[in-house]
Amino acid sequence: MADEAGSDLTTADLFSSRTEGDWRGLVDRVLKGAPFDRLVSTTYDGIRLQPLYARARGPLPRALRAVPGRWDILARIDHPDAAAASRQALIDLEAGASGLHLIFAGSVGAHGFGVAGASIGLIEEVLEGEALDFGLPVEIDLGPHSEAAVAIADLVTRRRMEPSLTRIRFGLDPLGTAAAQGGATLAWPDAAPSLVDVTLRLIAQGQRGPFWVADGRVVHAAGGSEAQELAFALGSALAYVRALEAGGVPLDTASRVVGFRLAADADELLTIAKLRALRRLWARIEDACGLSPRPIHIHAETAWRMMTRRDPWVNLLRATVATFCAALGGADAISVQPFTQALGLADAFARRLARNTQLILAEEGHLDKVADPAAGSGAFEALTDELAKVAWALFQDIER
């Protein structure tokens, strides 16, 4: 009986049909002669944000993300002291984090801290007790310490672990490091071959990667727009693929071993659109290379530039919105900056709140149940398209 009663209920019949013109008439009455453009805002990229968007029409683009599931909930490990960094890692993993974001001094995400050194002995101390071959995700912010990638892989071998069972993303990013430091010791054509050799060594050891990361955070932290961040990441990624191919790595493999890292801030519309646009843009590049587009790995971190020292409690709200956006945008791994990060090394309380922000959004918000929650939304589809067009034009400028 209950099923029969429910089948007769059609809520659409309870509401009269309305058009956009009807809505516009009501808006004009509220504006009382003021121009409609008062309701329209413009982003730094010149994209006009409308107050109302129609439902998306036509077939929806592919999400280009791996099957739906929990993103990697990463804990930032950035203490300069190896023993303290090891304690950070163990506490966070025991309390719910599913992976580690290992940050070395001088990297884009270090902010004056980070693991100080790249010797295998120091790294072994930091990762003491971590079962890397049980699928523990480890996202690495290498910065200038490219030798740490080899040391970590050698540690896996020393511990007699199976490399193919690890989930280490090694984070080679010479262009991002050069941008953050204002220059590089070697020009890119001179620096690339040695890093390609590192990649070949890691592949030979059985590591899966990704080994390189195209990191847009350096642009975002410097005040860049969403399109500028995307263009820089795309340009870096393509430069890495070209260097790998020139070094003898097959094009299909070269594309597979490059991942991405973006900043997620509290602008909900643009952050979600940015992550979605990145997947579409890289799929376009792969298609131009004659490759079949496939899911890429995106690591998102809550943005450094939105963190405040004064009244830092507001950072909790910003980080929550940014994490929400990164999850809905389809990030495969997320790091949350503790709310006191701008004041120095975070204490246990700040780290716990950063960790639990992700856990609550995943466990209670169920944000990990759909591959592309924004699909079909008029606003998100329109913004994704417009942002992709602007970013593509900037990327073409870089290529010229």
**For position 45, what pLDDT does the model report?**
95
Q: d(Cα 327, Cα 264) in Å, to the nearest integer?
A: 10
pLDDT of residue 1: 47
Can you give the residue ranges of every domain in the chain? 72-399
Under DSSP, is residue 261 helix (H, G, I), strand (E, B) or coil?
Answer: strand
- CA–CA distance, 392 with 396 (Å, rounded to integer): 6
The CATH class of the 72-399 domain is alpha beta
Identify the pLDDT of residue 166.
92
Q: Are 122 and 112 in contact (CB under 8 A)?
A: no
What stretches of the chain adopt beta strand conformation (E)? Answer: 41-42, 48-49, 72-77, 99-103, 137-141, 167-169, 212-215, 258-264, 298-302, 333-335
Question: How far apart, in whole angstroms, are the C-alpha atoms of residue 362 and residue 138?
Answer: 19
Q: State residue 319's pLDDT score.
A: 98
Residues 211, 201, 80, 182: is their CA dihedral positive or negative? negative
Write out the chain's pLDDT in tens, 400 residues.
455 555 566 776 777 778 888 888 889 889 888 888 889 999 999 999 999 888 877 776 666 566 667 899 999 999 999 999 999 999 999 999 999 999 999 999 999 999 988 888 888 899 887 888 888 999 999 988 989 999 999 999 989 999 989 999 999 999 999 999 888 888 888 899 999 999 999 999 999 989 999 999 999 999 999 999 999 999 999 999 999 999 999 999 999 999 999 999 999 999 999 999 999 999 999 999 999 988 999 999 999 999 999 999 999 999 999 999 999 999 999 999 999 999 999 999 999 999 999 999 999 998 888 878 888 888 999 999 999 999 999 999 999 8
- Confidence at residue 63, expressed as pLDDT on a 0 to 100 scale: 61
Kindly report whether the peptide bond that precedes residue 210 is cis, defined as omega within 30 degrees of 0. yes
**Cα 12 vs. chain centroid, distance in angstroms?**
40
